[in-house]
Structure 1
């Protein structure tokens, strides 16, 4: 397995092994003859600068593309997708599909409020979203057949109704189906030096340290893994740091990891210690070894005349600012919220603004939304307030900057939660709801979606769709269509076997 070393911290991108821990970020390499020529004509420091392009995921072909296309936007602006994922399973009945006329064991503790759309009501703890409901629509009929986290992640994040065989529950493996982000990234082109598909701010890992599936390219091969922007600290609590929590069966500690989100911000090449490299091995040998290891993954067409532009791009203030959420106005930070949810979505917006075509943003560690117990106080006090603030700020910001028309925003979980409230007194002090794959509500906005619509309907207790049922395959098709991927497109596994990108039709009624 290829294991290039990239320093992390303040903040280089992290690449660890095995490959499922962090996405592979290609270093810039060249053919041996050109490497030798470069080493003769450039200083050792310049050589490190050239290799440093990998710190922001750049290859020389990226720079060549930038040079060839210039900075002028195309006539037909390509659309992007921001998939906001709530790991653990958001309770649809307690948020976007309330059942106020159901019995107490179903309807729960929350009241409903009116939105700007006549006849549409949502949870009282989502006032900001209610006030801008003309900007977004809901799909209340997304479902699949499993209540199992591992299987549900595969269904939803891969956009399939099929599980890999065998299904590995502890880590992603090479036989997994590729995620939607991986497929999209493999089919998209961009004029940006940043990758086509990015995932942030950390991998989905459960309390047993199992890395959830649906986050890699799987059988497409590691080179198509989405670029992981590992930008949140390793806080082991749930929710939106610093106001994070543990469920009542464990003690909640005061958050101590700051900043709550610090995007990898590549340092200037001169900050790299040549002396430190000398202690490891000769610089030429180091670069040649990288070339040999990564040659099968990275193909560089041209090198020499673009070298200086590449080095300039590495230290571009625009790229650095895009990755640093602390830059910009205090008003913007306050608007999104100075917490993990807010900063994650602000960074997501920055990435799209700078040419990334698909972003998969995880709001919360592990199973933050898995409210088997303590459902109502956690939603009311810990989860919904930062969620409501950050999602609303994102939609308003995209609209204000003219990006909402070309950016499809989707909010979903791996599943919803049971209609019936339950008690697990041996684990939680207060009641909650269990997993429910049959139904969940998905928010959709931008990218040509008409706001204020409600697609689909569940029965009187929110258990099953009774109108316009949708599957993860329909979700995937909606994403691929928005990105302009042809209906005839295929993806291929490492052995060259083709698979259809589209397995269903896009969700109807959104446009």
Structure 2
């Protein structure tokens, strides 16, 4: 992506540390007692120091495939490799001459002029939780003291949190949202890398919990749910977005009374009159109420009651509903929506890989992503909406059979190579960046790191290359840690 124009909505902290800390104190106030920590704290506009991002996109939909999509079974097939590497699936041609993908992604194949691939994303981690942190934060290395078993406020901030911090909220809505569930291990522990980490809780993205947790069922329920190990436990979950209504006993009169309590903060606000923090503070207050009163938000969340045509195109399942919700939220004004297509390890195809991908994972994904592309294209919004789809890693070249757990074969974890899909936001459809070796094991051309992946999102959203956030000790932390992937646009 080329650097051409500065997006005026990008935000940075200024260098006046005393005022910044005062602003953070005010931003931490629970305005309504309704858990508003998902809203961005008070921010200050600064110049971009002369470095301008491309800023083609108003928004980004980050589709995350927890568990790790097998590149050999999707976007980087190796039909000429030995049988124990190429697998059961066969490639089909797309609308882009010379570009082939898996036969079980026919709808995406028909739309190849709308998306591009990077086949050479690589990092050194083969463990699920650590690799989640790597890909969700855009850092190849792990922070000191990192624990895969427990998220920590010493973890790094997620891409969603940083994008939410560094872009201007539109229409009083949270700038960053994660749906339809937070990623939870089958043991019940939360997967690291999903929140704002060392930036603080006030910068956590807004979590929409629409998909109840189930520790042995995966996929796009109710149509395509499955269990990796076929343990036979029932899955009666309902996909239901939260109702943004006031808590019991808290009517609007009470809310108005609580809002008046802000007058007690006047002594703090006097110290903030030399910049726009007061106006931002008022917008933060308005945003808390807007979440409950804005009709477009209620409509965006009420996806299971969408019109029949939309449900037919996206699919009547958690994958389709999630991407329809994401599409509506960006239309309503959310800057970045992370969509987890399945809970933790849904795409972890160690065994029974070929029937589960063919019958349960690819059909709802192919349909819903294609519907999203069609929707955005038909309204002219695709050029201003970046879509990215990735997991925490790829899968091993060799097919293996873990007889103790699975009846049929699959592939193990593999951080060294994965394929990532990009669309919209200035992406040139049909492009293919990078290449892996004959077995799909390692990049042989143009290796790309998670830092480049994250930078591509930040750049498309118009976040300046010099952007940084500052911690409580006033130390700067750069948002960019690599260059955007070249050649996508």
Normalising by the residue count of structure 1, what TM-score does the alignment of the two structures yield?
0.79
Matched residue, 1:388: 366
The aligned residue for residue 344 of structure 1 is 322
Structure 1 residue aligned with 2:75: 96
**Which of 185, 200, 221 is 2:179 aligned to?**
200
Q: Which residue is equivalent to 2:332?
A: 354
In structure 1, the partner of 2:399 is 421
Local SS of the residue matching 1:326: helix
Per-residue deviation, 1:116: 0.4
Aligned-partner SS, 1:359: strand
Asked if the contact 2:456–2:484 (Cα under 8 Å) also holds between the matched residues in 1, the reply is: yes
Between the aligned partners of 1:312 and 1:417, the Cα distance in structure 2 is 43
- CA drift of 1:190 comes to 2.2
2:71 is paired with a residue whose SS is coil
Where do 5+ consecutive residues of structure 1 fail to align? 1-24, 30-50, 63-75
In 2: Cα distance, 1:413 partner to 1:54 partner = 30
- 2-structure distance, mates of 1:175, 1:314: 32
- 2:303 match: secondary structure: coil
The answer to whether residue 433 in structure 2 is matched with residue 452 in structure 1 is no
Q: Report the 3-state secondary structure (helix = DSSP H, G, I; strand = E; otherwise coil) of the residue aligned with 2:447.
A: coil
Corresponding position: 1:402 with 2:383: no
Contact 1:321/1:327, CA 8 A, preserved across alignment: no
- Root-mean-square deviation over aligned CA pairs: 3.2
Q: Which residue of 2 aligns with 1:273?
A: 249
- Residue 355 of structure 2 corresponds to residue 374 of structure 1: no
- 1:353 and 1:149 mapped to 2: Cα distance? 33
1:492 aligns with 2:473: no
Q: How far does residue 307 in structure 1 lie from its aligned partner after superposition?
A: 9.2
- 3-state DSSP of counterpart to 2:296: helix
* CA drift at 1:394: 0.7
Q: Residues 213 and 307 from structure 1, CA distance in 2 versus in 1: closer, same or farther, beyond 3 angstroms?
A: closer
CA distance in 1 between partners of 2:443 and 2:283 (Å): 59
* Cα distance in 1 for residues equivalent to 2:280 and 2:464: 29
Q: Work out whether residues 195 and 356 of structure 1, in 8 Å CA contact, stay in contact via their aligned partners in 2.
A: yes
CA deviation after TM superposition for structure 1 residue 301, in Å: 5.4
Query: C-alpha separation between the residues in 1 aligned to 2:438 and 2:241?
Result: 44
Give the equivalent residue in structure 2 for 1:68.
none
Deviations 1:294-330 (A, max 9, x none): x99xx87599999999868743322211221134321
CA–CA separation in structure 2 for the residues paired with 1:228 and 1:239: 19
Q: 1:59 to 1:85 in 2, by over 3 A?
A: closer
- How far the C-alpha of 1:53 sits from its partner, in A, is 7.3
Q: Is residue 463 of structure 1 aligned with residue 444 of structure 2?
A: no
Question: Could you say what secondary structure the match of 1:195 adopts?
Answer: coil
Deviations 1:255-278 (A, max 9, x none): 2122x2x222223x5x83369xx9
- Taking the aligned partners of 2:278 and 2:206, their CA distance within structure 1 comes to 19
Cα separation, 2, equivalents of 1:305 and 1:446 = 30
- After the TM superposition, which residues 195-234 of structure 1 pair with which residues of structure 2 at under 5 Å, given as runs? 195-234=174-213
SS of the counterpart of 2:73? coil
2: distance between equivalents of 1:307 and 1:348?
24
Matched, 1:176 2:161: no
1:190 aligns with 2:169: yes
Q: Which residue of the other structure, out of 413, 420, 431, is the alignment partner of 1:435?
A: 413
Query: Contact conserved, 1:197 with 1:356, CA < 8 A, in 2?
Result: yes
* CA distance in 2: counterparts of 1:306 and 1:187, whole angstroms: 15
SS in structure 1 of the partner of residue 339 of structure 2: strand
Q: Given that residues 201 and 232 in structure 1 are in contact (C-alpha distance below 8 angstroms), is that contact kept between their aligned partners in structure 2?
A: yes
Question: What is the CA distance between 1:205 and its match in structure 2?
Answer: 1.3
Distance 1:234 1:207 in 2: 9
Deviation of residue 420 (structure 1)?
0.3
2:226 corresponds to: 245
Counterpart of 1:163 (choices 123, 142, 153) is: 142
What do the CA deviations read for 1:432-468 (whole angstroms, capped 9, x no partner)?
Answer: 1000000000000000001011111100010011111
Q: TM-score, normalised by structure 2?
A: 0.82
Asked if 1 retains the 8 angstrom alpha-carbon contact of 2:65 and 2:342, the reply is yes
1:111-155 deviation per Cα after TM superposition (whole angstroms, max 9, x unaligned): 111100111111110000001111101100001011111221111
Q: Secondary structure at the match of 2:373?
A: helix
CA distance in 1 between partners of 2:250 and 2:63 (Å): 41
- Listed one character per residue, the Cα deviations across residues 36-85 of structure 1 (whole Å, up to 9, x for unaligned) are xxxxxxxxxxxxxxx387679679999xxxxxxxxxxxxx9852111100
Question: Which sections of structure 2, spanning at least 5 residues, go unmatched?
Answer: 1-26, 44-54, 270-276
CA contact (8 A) 2:40 2:164 kept: no
